[in-house]
Amino acid sequence: MGIVKRLPEQLIDQIAAGEVIERPASVVKELVENALDAGATDIVIEVARGGREMIRVADNGSGMGQEDLFMALERHATSKLADAQGLSRIATMGFRGEALPSIASVSVFSLASALAHGDGFRVAARGGVMTESGPVSRPKGTEATVARLFFNLPARRKFLKSEEREFAHIKELIQRLAVTYPSVAFRLTHNERAALSFAAATSAADRAAEVWKAGRDETTLVEETAGHTAGTLLLGSPYRSFAAPATVTVNRRIVSDRRVNAVIYRVIRESVGGDHRPVYALSMTLPPEEVDVNVHPAKSEVRFRDESAVFSLIEALFRKGLAALRAGERPSELFPSAPTSPSHAALPHIAPSARPTGTELFSPPLPLTGADAAPASFSPAIRMANYRVIGTLFDTYIAVEMGDALYLIDQHASHERIVYTRLREAMEKKSGLTQLTLLAEPVHLSPVEIAIWREHRGIFADIGLTLEELDDETLVIRGVPALSLDPSWPSLVQDLLADIREQGFSSAWDEKFLSIAAGRACKRAVRAGRTLAPEEIERLIADINASETLTCPHGRPFFFVVPKRDIERGIGR
């Protein structure tokens, strides 16, 4: 007997479910997309315990008859694809015929539908096995109920996140769908409490303003066409945060494409700086044969026939949208011109008493220690005494003469190490030094980011960030770490939460969190390309003298030594 055997049908269904159904939000996505394909204009989503225990999606679409209901639970059965030629002209959300049988194989599932009011039929299954069927009286449309998701796959169920986090993913999905389909009404409840409610809107701009909770002057709508591809971009101001996720759609299909995201982030970084995370809804429409949606089982990735044309269109849309937002604001506030950077041959003098915001970047000078240490000593700490500051090189490196050597100090990397050390000390003591803010700064977050903060709020408090929850979408900053620097704290909080979301979290993540926090904080303060005043250089050197490590938190040395003899050898002296 051979060793290659055909898998049991039930196991095949469960494997398919693993490809299509990642979490409760995946179930909601498949069911809502089926409703949209059926022409629904009113969709109600009910969720219990983050989708672990129950998900119900009801719509007023075209509905199905008895025969179609039975067939819908068969694998690879679909009304949306008839032949191989149809694969190149996909115009519906679903087409594989895998979603419903995959969902049914890992849950207690029921599907009820009616082609006309009062004349309906219902089928039910448990773990992919049909348990009952019969006529029901119900309105025209379809209702799918998924209970006890992954009940027969305890390993998969164990890997689900908290109830709050799973529901946050569902909430973000509905926000994206609401922006993509403004003419459709959406209602979402969680544990029998209303979470979202969007009536049918007259335009995408109106729906986006409602979902993003934005004023019309805080968003812009731009359009571009290139060949057979048309693009529309709804863009929120990059200078304020919105409690909603960004959305990219191709032929009204929500996608997550790394190459598309790379183009978007590059344009934003070049135009307004990489620290900004504007909310946007990018919609591209092109002939179905120009895009391949059959790339991933979850249909979240696509492939374009003419990538360069599509990416050029995306870049043009974002540049046009950012220019439109800029034209509607005072340029002096939104796009401050970079100060000219004089050479250190004539270092600017900033009076300590002036203390302009964001200028005094370092703590008060610490007493120098180890003054008698050898200049080229590579002990665990660097001690600088009897030195002379020559100036800065490329507005990045501080040139210091000491003894018979030239020291080139990376101003950003060295300060990052100092901030990291102080944050680590604060976390170890569990009582980080905090300075209260004069005004409470709001931080608008997406549902998933709020859920992540609730799960890990302690680690923010340990480094001195005092955050309070204003509502389900907003935190306010009451206190910040006493680091004598002034970054954009709301953006810093958003960056840290985004890193946790993308990279995950573990009990051993503290050190990584500190490294990221220090780097993010310093990025807006001391960085390459910014000329430092003499007082700032002196304070930085004083802090370096007190440092116990010669590298930045990422392991990169923050200074380089050039002995005098190497200079003389290089010029043949």
pLDDT in tens, 115-158: 999 889 999 999 989 999 999 999 999 999 999 999 988 888 88
Integer Rg of the chain from CA: 29
Contact 177, 207 (CB under 8 A): no
Structure tokens at 178: 């609401």
Domain positions in the chain are 9-200, 205-331, 434-481+486-523
Distance CA(425)–CA(432), nearest Å, equals 8
Strands 280-285 and 247-250, sheet pairing: parallel
Environment class of 338 (CB within 10 Å of its CB; exposed 0-12, middle 13-18, buried 19+): exposed
Which candidate, 178, 226, 227, places its Cα nearest to that of 204?
Answer: 178
Q: Residues 71-101, buried b or exposed e (16+ Cβ, 10 A)?
A: ebbebeebeebeeeeeeeebebbbbbbbbbb
Categorize the per-residue pLDDT at 370 as very low, low, confident or very high, splitting at 50, 70 and 90.
very low
Architecture of domain 9-200: 2-Layer Sandwich (3.30)
Higher pLDDT: 480 or 170? It is 170
One CATH from 3.40.50.2300, 3.40.1710.10, 1.10.10.10, 3.30.1370.100 for 434-481+486-523? 3.30.1370.100
Does 556 have pLDDT greater than 60?
A: yes
Does 97 have pLDDT greater than 70?
A: no
Question: pLDDT value at position 112?
Answer: 95
Which candidate, 470, 479, 462, 481, places its Cα nearest to that of 444?
Answer: 470
Distance CA(180)–CA(201), nearest Å, equals 11
Higher pLDDT: 284 or 568? It is 284
Question: pLDDT value at position 518?
Answer: 63
pLDDT tens digit sequence for 36-87:
989 999 999 999 999 999 999 999 999 999 988 988 888 655 555 444 444 4
Categorize the per-residue pLDDT at 257 as very low, low, confident or very high, splitting at 50, 70 and 90.
confident
- Reduced to 3 states (helix: H, G, I; strand: E, B; else coil), residue 75 is coil
The residue whose two tokens read 């409610």 is 197
Rounded mean pLDDT, 160-169? 92
Environment class of 315 (CB within 10 Å of its CB; exposed 0-12, middle 13-18, buried 19+): middle
Does 181 have pLDDT greater than 90?
A: yes
Helical (H) or strand (E) element with 230: strand 229-236
Categorize the per-residue pLDDT at 179 as very low, low, confident or very high, splitting at 50, 70 and 90.
very high
The CA distances from residue 95 to 7, 17, 60, in Å, are: 24, 15, 20
Does 27 have pLDDT greater than 80?
A: yes
Distance CA(302)–CA(258), nearest Å, equals 10
Helical (H) or strand (E) element with 231: strand 229-236
Q: In the CATH scheme, what is the code of domain 205-331? A: 3.30.230.10
What is the residue type of 96?
R
Read off the pTM: 0.68
Nearest-5° Cα angle at 289, 286 to 290: 50
Does 431 have pLDDT greater than 70?
A: no
Question: pLDDT value at position 347?
Answer: 35
Contact 234, 281 (CB under 8 A): yes
